[in-house]
A and B are shown apart, each in its own frame.
Chain A
């Protein structure tokens, strides 16, 4: 059929591992909106869920680090983190859609890595926990390297997203697409805890305005300096923007949650 649902959401581990550390009202508001997104997703009755995501040394190391990787497995296991307070689960995978996406990429000017066995860390498990709580919808992970240099440019992510979007709009399935990561954060660094609210607001404004020209110009250096090592994950949001030309983005929530050390955003998209 086509893409029936799309959203972008942050995945700070504190959302499930230490929600009580955050101011109650702020945490409740953010997590209620996250669950609301899950209800919106379920209402569109998707056959498959494409997760434009990242990972944190769960599968790949510096001996082989794919820039883009598409999962083609019939199931995935996660989370790898025992402390995440999300039970270890077998997540169903849509291997056919993964294979179809891969073929479309190779035909369309991209050559991603593929994998028939991936573990999910909090980057993928946390959004799935809220958006696909019963793990009823089969998942296709599309992993972007936002962990270690060199990373794909914003421009390249937009183009990759365009190709993914075009392909998903032509599939016979009803597909939900989610992007996950960001916004500004410096995990495990000396600056851990810093949140750049002006950066986050500007990025959200740009995304909502649908200004691809400006999104394409988010350079590695700018993101690194202003949004931190964790901020590189906004490449997943930029990829999603590429997949959804002419869709309208809407801000569902933004909370700079200090104990989660992350600018946390939720954005929905509609045609």
Chain B
């Protein structure tokens, strides 16, 4: 598990327009640049909100990241349902 690398990827995509473009072109190739486990790579590539949250990605990294993907408040809440 490499939560630091996972959060770094998300921080880079959120905050850096160039990185964001690279991520949008090929999420899997972009994720390969970070030291992630196979599960983490898949969670990022598939935008598995629940898995990312459960792995401990900070909510204020995760929510902006999902906003970049156009995830609505309702869908975001649905992805986290039952984790309160």
Contacts and interface: CB of A to CB of B under 8 A. Distances in A.
B14 A57 contact: yes
A188 interface: yes
A190 B80 CA distance: 5
B59 A187 contact: yes
Main secondary structure of the interface of B (DSSP, over half): helix
Interface in B19-70: 53, 58-64, 67
Contacts of B83: 190
Nearest to B14: A57
B54 to A, nearest CB: 10
Interface residues of B, number: 22
Given A62-B4, A62-B7, A148-B58, A188 B63 contact: yes
- Which of B7, B64, B83 gathers most chain A CB within 10 Å? B64
Nearest to B11: A61
A188 B62 contact: yes
A132 interface: no
Contacts of A56: 60
Contacts of A186: 59
A151 interface: no
A229 B84 CA distance: 13
A187 B63 contact: yes
A41 B32 CA distance: 51
A186 B77 CA distance: 12
A99 interface: no
Contact of B8 (A61, A190, A191, A193): A61
Given A62-B4, A229-B59, A189 B80 contact: yes
Contacts, number: 47
Contacts of A147: 58, 60
A192 interface: yes
A187 B82 CA distance: 16
B67 A80 contact: no
A190 B77 CA distance: 7
Nearest to A55: B60
B61 A57 contact: yes
Nearest to A194: B84
Contacts of A188: 59-60, 62-63, 76
Interface in A10-66: 56-58, 61-63
Nearest to A58: B15
A229 B8 CA distance: 20
Contacts of B53: 190
A50 B67 CA distance: 31
A84 to B, nearest CB: 12
A247 interface: no
24 contacts: A57-B58, A57-B61, A57-B64, A58-B15, A61-B8, A61-B11, A62-B7, A62-B8, A81-B64, A147-B58, A147-B60, A148-B58, A186-B59, A187-B59, A187-B60, A187-B63, A188-B60, A189-B59, A189-B80, A190-B81, A192-B59, A192-B77, A192-B80, A193-B77
Given A57-B14, A192-B80, 15 more contacts: A56-B60, A57-B11, A57-B64, A62-B4, A62-B7, A62-B8, A81-B64, A83-B67, A147-B58, A186-B59, A187-B60, A189-B59, A189-B80, A192-B59, A229-B60
